[in-house]
């Protein structure tokens, strides 16, 4: 790393970002502006903005990527480059409820296998798959910081801890369609 910060400049020729560019309602634009205002360099807002695009469009789709490139003054490839590094950024559609079961050591020894088996049997899918109705995706993920209250999973951003098969049934039944 040098001791001078140089922003990566977009190519000098015009960039073709395609015709299909996502657009957002004004309150979403305001939220995006709020994030951009935090940083002296626009590019820093890339992850917060990706989460917004993903929340609004279900996943980071090509029109969403084009939007970010345009909004941040970056190349399409700059956006993909970052998107593909982070496991929470989805570049493919996923279920409306993303069940992320922690499979790391503390959860594993405290009963994760039993929870995973129960969830998969109940939904009829394997980890990494989505139910045909698009409601659930199940993933096995690494430690989520609930090791003292394991086993656990996260559905979207919500934590569910000290899980038992009975608790899992209640949680799954309580989720909106």
Partner 1 sequence: MFIGAIGCEPLQLARVHLENSRSLEVYRRHGGYQALERVLTSMSPDDVINEVKKSVLRGRGGAGFPTGMKWSFVPKDSPKPKYVVCNADESEPGTFKDRYLMERDPHMLIEGMLIAAYALGAKTNYIYTRGEYKYLIDIMDRALEEARAAGLLGQNILDSNFSSEVYTHTGAGAYICGEETALLSSLEGMRGHPRMKPPFPAVSGLYACPTVVNNVETLTAVPDIIKMGGEAYQKLGTEKSGGTKLWSVSGHVNRPGVYELPMGYDDMEKFIMEDCEGMRDGKKLKAVIPGGSSVYVMRAEDIIGRDVRMDYEGLVAGGSMVGSGGFIVMDDTVDIFESTKNLTEFYKHESCGWCTPCREGTDWLVKIFKRIEKGGGRPEDAQLMLDLCDNIEGKSFCPLGDAAAWPIQSAIKRFPEDFKRHLVKAN
DSSP labels, 23-57: ---HHHHHHHHHHHTT-SSGGGGHHHHHHHHHHHH
| Contact pick of 17, 22, 45, 101 for partner 1 (by CB under 8 A) | 45
Instruction: Please say whether the dihedral angle defined by the alpha carbons of residues 32, 38, 43 and 46, taken in this order, is positive or negative.
Output: negative
Q: Is 140 in the site for ligand FES (CB under 6 A)?
A: no
* Residue 84 or 162 with smaller CB distance to ligand FES: 162
Q: Residue 48's binding partner, choosing from ligand FES, partner 1, none, with beta-carbon cut-off 5 to 8 A by kind? A: partner 1
Which residues have CB under 8 Å from 176's CB, separation 6+? none
Candidate segments 13-21, 22-30, 81-89, 126-134, binder of partner 1 by CB under 8 A: 81-89
Q: Is 100 in the site for ligand FES (CB under 6 A)?
A: no
**71 closest CA partner among 42, 47, 51:** 42
Which of 52, 60, 102, 115 is in the footprint of ligand FES by CB under 6 A?
A: 102
Interaction of residue 71 with partner 1, rule CB under 8 A: no
CB-wise, 122 or 147, nearer to partner 1? Answer: 147
120 binds, among partner 1, ligand FES, none (CB under 5 to 8 A by kind): none
In sequence order, what DSSP letters do the residues of 86-155 get, joined into one string?
-TT--SS---SEEEEEE-SHHHHHTTHHHHHHHHHHHHT--TT-B-TTSSEEEEEES--S-GGG-S-EEE
Stretch that binds ligand FES, among 5-13, 55-63, 141-149, 166-174 (CB under 6 A): 141-149
């Amino acid at each position: 790393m040098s001791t001078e910060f140089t922003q990566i400049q977009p190519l000098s020729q015009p960039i073709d970002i395609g015709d299909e560019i996502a657009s957002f309602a004004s309150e979403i634009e305001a939220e995006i502006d709020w994030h951009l205002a935090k940083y002296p360099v626009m590019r820093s807002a890339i992850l917060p903005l990706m989460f917004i695009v993903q929340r609004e469009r279900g996943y980071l789709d090509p029109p969403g990527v084009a939007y970010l490139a345009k909004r941040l003054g970056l190349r399409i490839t700059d956006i993909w480059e970052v998107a593909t590094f982070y496991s929470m950024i989805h570049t493919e559609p996923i279920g409306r409820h993303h069940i992320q079961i922690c499979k790391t050591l503390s959860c594993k020894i405290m009963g994760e296998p039993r929870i995973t088996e129960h969830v998969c049997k109940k939904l009829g899918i394997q980890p990494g798959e989505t139910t045909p109705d698009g409601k659930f995706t199940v993933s096995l993920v690494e430690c989520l910081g609930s090791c003292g209250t394991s086993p656990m999973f996260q559905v979207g951003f919500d934590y569910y801890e000290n899980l038992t098969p009975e608790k899992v049934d209640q949680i799954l039944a309580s989720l909106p369609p």
